[in-house]
Amino acid sequence: MTRAAPEPLKTLDPDVVAQWLARHPDFFVGREGLLQQLKVPHPEARGATSLLERLVADLRTRAEQAEWRLEQLLESARHNEAQYRRTRELVLALLEAEDGDALGQALATQFSERFQTPALALWCPASLTDREAQPPQAPRQVLDDHVAQRLAALLDGRASRCTRLTPTDWKRLLPHAKAPDKAGSCALARLTLGEPLGYLVLASPDPDHFRASMDTLFTEYVGDVVARLLVRLAPPRHG
């Protein structure tokens, strides 16, 4: 009598086993000895380790990652708090300005001391200055068509922008500040409040201080505050 051929061994699909265990998380209850026999790849070295040791290693890694994320959140919170305090002091100083020149001086002082921005210019049209008084004091400048065209070209249709600033443009846009030998960088903001009111130029001799990829929301915010103060501090127009 011929013996029947043995049936081939069936191998369980690992994915099917994983799905089954996921549906039966209590499978190892009462089978702790089986847990101790399981071997899994070591996360940092060759060979295998026990499942319990691997779980401990995974938990340690997760704890370190959670600690790193927490430190990142705390660092971001500290940065935001410091930025808020600097911005608060800036706005309060601007609100105390009694005229356009004082406003420009407050801007220059605050940005130099609190935001590491050594050069600044506030370009305003002649309609916002008192024609009978002395010329405006730096960093406030009287806007003319030539400068307005260059600033508009640098902004390229935007309300604000960070970009490189050549020594030639530095001399033109910040005539009261010493120009660097090489290209610097600047943040520009158009000042408007129903009508064009000029431009705010923040500059640094460091070409990477104001990078093109930087967000300009803060620059626009300062520009909005300055625009409103310029209107409030403008001399009365004689009819």
Determine the Cα angle at 103 with ends 97 and 105, to 5°: 110
Last-in-domain residue among 95, 122, 142: 95
CA distances from 120 to 10, 145, 175 (A): 79, 20, 10
Determine the Cα angle at 83 with ends 82 and 86, to 5°: 85
CA distances from 55 to 49, 52, 60, 146 (A): 10, 5, 9, 70
Domain around 63: 40-95
Instruction: Based on the fold, state whether residues 106 and 197 are members of the same structural domain.
Output: yes
Instruction: Based on the fold, state whether residues 166 and 215 are members of the same structural domain.
Output: yes
CA distances from 39 to 52, 102, 239 (A): 9, 75, 92
Domain count, the chain: 2
The verdict on residue 32 lying in a domain is no
The verdict on residue 172 lying in a domain is yes
Instruction: Based on the fold, state whether residues 218 and 105 are members of the same structural domain.
Output: yes
Instruction: Based on the fold, state whether residues 165 and 65 are members of the same structural domain.
Output: no
The verdict on residue 145 lying in a domain is yes
Instruction: Based on the fold, state whether residues 141 and 65 are members of the same structural domain.
Output: no
The verdict on residue 45 lying in a domain is yes
Q: Residue 201: CB partners within 8 Å, gap ≥ 6?
A: 120, 121, 122, 123, 151, 173, 174, 186, 187, 188
Write down the pTM of the prediction: 0.71
For residue 205, the SS3 value is: coil
Instruction: Based on the fold, state whether residues 184 and 115 are members of the same structural domain.
Output: yes
Instruction: Based on the fold, state whether residues 138 and 222 are members of the same structural domain.
Output: yes
Q: What is the CATH number of the domain that holds 193?
A: 3.30.450.40
Last-in-domain residue among 95, 123, 142: 95
pLDDT tens digit at each of 239 positions of the chain? 556 556 555 677 888 878 888 888 777 777 767 766 766 666 665 656 666 676 777 888 888 899 999 999 999 899 889 999 999 999 999 999 999 999 999 999 999 999 999 999 999 998 876 554 567 899 999 999 999 999 999 999 999 999 999 999 999 999 999 999 999 999 999 999 989 999 999 999 999 999 999 999 999 999 999 999 999 998 776 55
Instruction: Based on the fold, state whether residues 91 and 109 are members of the same structural domain.
Output: no
